[in-house]
Chains A and B, each alone.
Chain A
Amino acid sequence: MPSQQPFALIESGAHGLAIVAVNEAAARLGIEAGTSLADARAAHPGLLSRPAEPEKDRIALLKLARWAGRYGPNRHVDGNDGLWIDVSGVAHLFGGEENLLNNMTQHLLSFGVAVQAGLADTLGAAHALARFGCPPDAAWAMAPVSETRASIGFLPVEALRLDAPRILLLKRLGLRHIGQLYDIPRDSLARRFRSSDVAAAVLVRLDQALGAMEEPRRPMQPPPVLSVARAFAEPLISSEALEAFTNELADELAAALAAKDLGARVLRLTFYRADGTSGTIAAAMSTPCHDARHMMALLSEKFSSIDAGFGVDILRLDAVRAGKRGANQKGFASPQGAAFRDPSELVDRLVNRLGRDAITVLRPNGSHIPERAEVRLPALDVLAAETSSRVQSYTPPWPYPKRLLRPAFMLSRPEPIQVTAGVPDGPPASFIWRRVERRVARAQGPERIAPEWWRTLYLDEDQKRPRTRDYYRIEDQQGAMYWVFRHGLYEGEEGSERPSWFLHGLFA
């Protein structure tokens, strides 16, 4: 789109097509947002137009907000056309606040985005400066630290983020600049308005802009517990350099965590590339960790997946979640503490490499049905729960007696077998499993396991009822041992189908 041509984005409204945004050339002609397209066309027949796409704008703005994370982890979109970024403690990475603003506006201009920036102590003041305080020849305006009052005093009251009727009211009262509000006693301001609500709204916005009142902000991502970052004048391309700097960041983060007596549970390394894109790698830990070596061990495995692109110019390491460390330190004299290290570091490394669900532990579950008596849970979660809880966690006992002979391996689904039995109710004499016939040498059983009757109470008539199982431990003539069961009883349980046989487990 040639920028010299007047151009407008339009939207169909109640009174036909209306202009929602115009470019610089159109603004110079005096076309404003809000006029109808027909009126504008009548005055300027050369006006080009295209329907507005607010959804796409919103997505683009969110992308920009993600990019803006390089200037501070806490940021989000502001209205339909703005971004806010909390740059507390970040400016030194760019060599001061002016340089930060220059850096940011230049980047945005290079993306083809028209930009006005404002930097102030409060969100309200920064908003006012960015939208109303930018000098025409500069891309940004800045209120020096603790000079907010003076800096926004000359701005129009529109800058206070009030709705249109209130602005109108203020103007009718002759209050055109924010500075005029400073001098009016707060009580008399309330008296001048018809209702106290309006006065309260104005005062809240004024207090927020001046920092007298805290303003809640909701950032794009939950703010990290701790965050350390490095900015580089010369973008990094080699993975060795990235790794070396990440190592430094890990040391720094570990020291910061240790100083607060915290340990990281989730780490996120974000790398902002020079071309405006970014990428992240993350690692989770089962116990709060403030050991830089362990952090690096987890992160460095994923370094191969980093694509540095045109180079990385900002590297940030966040402790996204953290926990109190040392809450469950191993006793000094405990037998285990002396001999072995805690397995949680190993679990972290394996999870990092193989995925959360590949590393599991067995835990008891409240049921007597063999396949439901135990569950396999991700070790990462279980170890975290068992070590990090402040209260000594209660592990329920295994629900069966120690001497019960059960197979070491349970098939995920019992496999049907063809059985020849001496007597209908007795153990099998031979059976065919996986197409091989196995002759039974010895058998022990039955161990009768009844279904859970409480689950059958509310079954409908046509639903299949669970049946009693009679389990046998059997040994074939080669010495291999199997756990088989007869599903159902011979002398008619309800719905009496013929009982069928299944193989459920293998003894090791």
Chain B
Amino acid sequence: MRFLLDSRVSAAVSVLSPGSGKDDAFKDAVIESLRSRILHIERHAPRRGVSAAPENSPLPRSRRRSRWELGCPACDDLLPRGLEANSLHEIKGVPSAVRGASAADWMAGIGFAARLAVRRIDTFAAGEEAHASSSMAGSGPGSGAGSGIGPWVLWCWPRQLAGEFGSPSAAGLASLGLDPSRLIIVETARAGDALNAIEESLRAQSLAVVIGIVEEAELTPARRLSLAAGETATPCLLVTHPASEPAGATATRWRVQRGGSAPHTFDPRAPGSPRFSIALERCRARPESAARSPMLLEWSDETRRFDLASIVADLPAQARGADGRAVPAAVRAY
């Protein structure tokens, strides 16, 4: 563990590295999740991910712009500089079938990307709120849907995928947390056109985030996207075919699978908050962070952030591993 320079990081890594005492790690994970629950309750408390800056002096505007975080400390600590705005982030599902991937595999990646976009916009809104001189600057995170102000998001994919999954629905995007009236949808006839359009959009400096969905990006187009993102500090979230070769030249690559959703607060038979089993496969800023075991994150529509799923309480007994440790189905499958 010679690379540990920072006590905050070391705490996080000891939570996650499998070699450092299973029981301790598990205990820490539980504490972590309890902590985040408390943070849920106290919505105005400073989040741990951005707590490096003293209270009441939010990060400088430029830094807010240049990075954003998932909102879950365990995950954010893997990334030394958060998710960098000036780079390309690739998100892939886990192929379930032997050949190709099903719609569900794609949806896991797309869902994760959409929620990262929500985080990005909220980070923006928070920064603007703190810095705008007038109170007209928007009413903060959570007020995005349907308000008609706020940054634009561009969604780009080839027509063939649109034919398979249907078209993005305003109601659905609003329930994810994106403002449907500030979304530009680009559907191209060919996959190459989609990559070109994404690159053009990244260079435009008019968008908070570009979500691109393509079968595959080869090294050259991926590098072009990465450079374009770097020029304007517009992040690109690229969702690619679960079974395709990963693109090079990405700052991070995430492997995402849907876990069974959290129990619903009021109805035991209904699906609750969505959960994702996340693995960081590549992290350019800190290669050691990559290739760790996957984490189970839960997205909360209320706080609009990810959190470690509290898996102990809600899993039935048979889902626990042989050592008594609860392992979510999705993680086992992966």
Contacts and interface: CB of A to CB of B under 8 A. Distances in A.
Partners in one complex: yes
Interface of A: 333-336, 339-343, 345-347, 349-350, 353-354, 358-364, 370, 373-374, 376, 379, 395, 397-398, 400, 402-412, 434, 436, 441-444, 473-481, 505-508
B176 A508 contact: yes
A359 B166 contact: no
Interface residues of B, number: 73
B107 interface: yes
24 contacts: A335-B128, A339-B151, A341-B206, A342-B206, A343-B204, A346-B154, A350-B200, A353-B196, A360-B184, A363-B181, A373-B170, A374-B180, A398-B146, A402-B174, A404-B175, A408-B114, A408-B175, A409-B166, A410-B167, A476-B104, A479-B261, A505-B166, A506-B107, A508-B107
A406 B172 contact: yes
Interface in B88-116: 96, 102-104, 107-108, 110-111, 114
Given A350-B200, A395-B148, A410-B169, A436 B206 contact: no
* Most B C-beta atoms less than 10 A away, residue of A341, A347, A354, A476: A354
A473 B270 contact: yes
Nearest to B277: A479
Contacts of A361: 181, 183-185
A508 B136 contact: no
Contact of A478 (B166, B169, B258, B271): B258
Contacts of A405: 175
Contacts of B183: 361-362
A290 B186 CA distance: 26
Contacts of A336: 149-151
B330 A506 contact: no
Interface in B244-269: 257-261, 264, 267, 269
Nearest to A478: B104
B171 interface: yes
B168 A479 contact: no
Contacts of B231: none
Given A343-B204, A479-B275, A374 B181 contact: no
B187 A443 contact: no
A404 B208 CA distance: 25
B185 to A, nearest CB: 5
Contacts of B269: 442-444
B205 A341 contact: yes
A349 to B, nearest CB: 6
A505 B330 contact: no
A24 B96 CA distance: 85
A477 to B, nearest CB: 8
Interface SS of A by simple majority: mixed
A447 to B, nearest CB: 12
Contacts of B259: 479
A412 B197 contact: no
Interface string B152-186: 10100000000101111111111110001101111
* Most A C-beta atoms less than 10 A away, residue of B196, B260, B264, B330: B260
Contacts of B180: 362, 374, 398
A408 B111 contact: yes
A349 B270 contact: no
Contacts of B103: 434, 480, 506
Interface in B300-334: 301, 329-330
Contacts of B330: 479
Contacts of A480: 102-104, 107-108, 258
B306 to A, nearest CB: 15
Contact of A397 (B128, B146, B208, B274): B146
Given A361-B184, A479-B330, A506-B103, A408 B169 contact: yes
Contacts of B14: none
Contacts of A333: 132-134, 136
A358 B170 contact: no
A436 B180 CA distance: 32
A373 B275 contact: no
Contacts of B261: 442, 475, 479, 481
Contacts of A354: 186, 188-189, 193, 197
Contacts of A335: 128, 132, 136-138, 149
Contacts of A442: 260-261, 264, 269-271
Contact of A343 (B102, B104, B150, B206): B206
B270 A443 contact: yes
B142 to A, nearest CB: 9
B201 interface: yes
A379 B152 CA distance: 12
Contacts of A341: 204-206
Contact of B124 (A339, A376, A412): A339
Interface string B111-149: 100100000000010001000111011100000011011
A443 B268 CA distance: 10
A353 B197 contact: yes
B146 A360 contact: no
Given A346-B154, A362-B183, A479-B329, 16 more contacts: A335-B137, A340-B207, A354-B186, A354-B193, A362-B173, A364-B170, A374-B180, A398-B174, A402-B174, A409-B165, A409-B172, A442-B264, A442-B271, A478-B96, A507-B107, A507-B172
Nearest to B239: A508
B271 A374 contact: no
Given A340-B207, A409-B167, A479-B260, A473 B188 contact: no
Given A334-B136, A442-B261, A506 B165 contact: yes
A387 to B, nearest CB: 13
Nearest to A395: B148
A508 B270 contact: no
Contacts of A407: 169, 172
A239 to B, nearest CB: 21
B152 A340 contact: yes
A404 B270 CA distance: 14
Contacts of B166: 409-412, 505-506
Given A333-B132, A340-B206, A358-B188, A408 B150 contact: no
A52 B134 CA distance: 77
Interface in B57-82: 65
Given A409-B166, A442-B270, A507-B107, A347 B171 contact: no
Contacts of B146: 397-398, 402
Nearest to A373: B171
* Most A C-beta atoms less than 10 A away, residue of B167, B172, B181: B172
Nearest to B169: A410
- 7 A-B pairs with the lowest CB-CB distances in the bound complex, closest first: A480-B104, A479-B258, A444-B270, A508-B111, A406-B171, A408-B172, A346-B204
A346 B228 CA distance: 14
Nearest to A411: B166
Contacts of B264: 442, 444
Given A370-B171, A407-B169, A444 B267 contact: yes
